[in-house]
Structure 1
Amino acid sequence: MTDAPVIVERLEAVATVVLNRPDRRNALTRELKEALVAALHDVAADADVRAVVLTGSGSAFCVGQDLAEHAAALEADPATAFDTVATHYSPIVTALATMPKPVVAAVNGTCVGAGLGFALACDLRVLAAGATLGTAFSAIGLTCDSGLASTLPRAVGEARARELVLLGRNFTPEEAGPWGITGEVVPAEDVLATAKKTATRLAAGPTAAYAESKRLLAHGLDRPLAETLIEEAVGQARCGRTQDHRGAVTAFLDRERPTFTGR
Structure 2
Amino acid sequence: MNDDRRPFQAYTARHFQWQCSDDGRVATITLNRPEKKNPLTFDSYAELRDLFLGLQRASDVRAVVITGAGGNFCSGGDVFEIIEPLTRMPAPELLRFTRMTGDLVKAIKRAPQPVIAALDGVCAGAGAMVALAADLRLGTPAARTAFLFTRVGLAGADMGACGLLPRVIGQGRAAELLFSGRAMTADEGAAWGFFNALHAPGELLAEAQAQARALADGPWFAHTMTKTMLNQEWAMGLEEIIESEAQAQAICMLTHDFKRAFDAFAAKQAPKFEGN
TM-score (norm 1): 0.93
Structure 1 unaligned regions, length at least 5: none
Work out whether residues 121 and 143 of structure 2, in 8 Å CA contact, stay in contact via their aligned partners in 1: yes
> Residue 209 of structure 2 corresponds to which residue in structure 1?
196
TM-superposition CA deviations, 1:118-154 (whole Å, max 9, x none): 1111111110212111110110111222221121100
Is 1:5 equivalent to 2:18 in the alignment?
Answer: no
> Residue 99 of structure 2 corresponds to which residue in structure 1?
86
Work out whether residues 74 and 81 of structure 1, in 8 Å CA contact, stay in contact via their aligned partners in 2: no
Alignment of 1:176-195 (within 5 A): 176-195=189-208
Alignment of 1:146-185 (within 5 A): 146-185=159-198
The amino acid that maps onto 2:114 is P
Alignment of 1:59-138 (within 5 A): 59-69=71-81, 70-87=83-100, 89-138=101-150
What is the root-mean-square deviation in Å for CA atoms of aligned residues? 1.8
Distance 1:209 1:180 in 2: 24
Distance 2:122 2:242 in 1: 40
Q: Which runs of 4+ in 1 moved over 4 A?
A: none
Structure 2 unaligned regions, length at least 5: 1-11
Shift of 1:229: 0.9
Is 1:41 equivalent to 2:53 in the alignment?
Answer: yes
Q: How many residue pairs were aligned?
A: 261
Shift of 1:16: 0.6
Distance 1:85 1:147 in 2: 11
Distance 2:253 2:114 in 1: 20
TM-score (norm 2): 0.89
The amino acid that maps onto 2:119 is V
TM-superposition CA deviations, 1:205-252 (whole Å, max 9, x none): 011111111111123343111101110011011111111111111211
Percent identity among equivalent residues? 34
Work out whether residues 109 and 188 of structure 1, in 8 Å CA contact, stay in contact via their aligned partners in 2: no
Work out whether residues 128 and 186 of structure 1, in 8 Å CA contact, stay in contact via their aligned partners in 2: yes
> Residue 70 of structure 2 corresponds to which residue in structure 1?
58
- Seen in structure 2, the aligned counterparts of structure 1 residues 221 and 91 have a Cα distance that, compared at 3 Å, is closer
Work out whether residues 105 and 122 of structure 1, in 8 Å CA contact, stay in contact via their aligned partners in 2: yes
Distance 2:178 2:19 in 1: 34
The amino acid that maps onto 2:66 is L
Is 1:25 equivalent to 2:34 in the alignment?
Answer: no
Work out whether residues 63 and 113 of structure 1, in 8 Å CA contact, stay in contact via their aligned partners in 2: yes
Alignment of 1:174-253 (within 5 A): 174-253=187-266
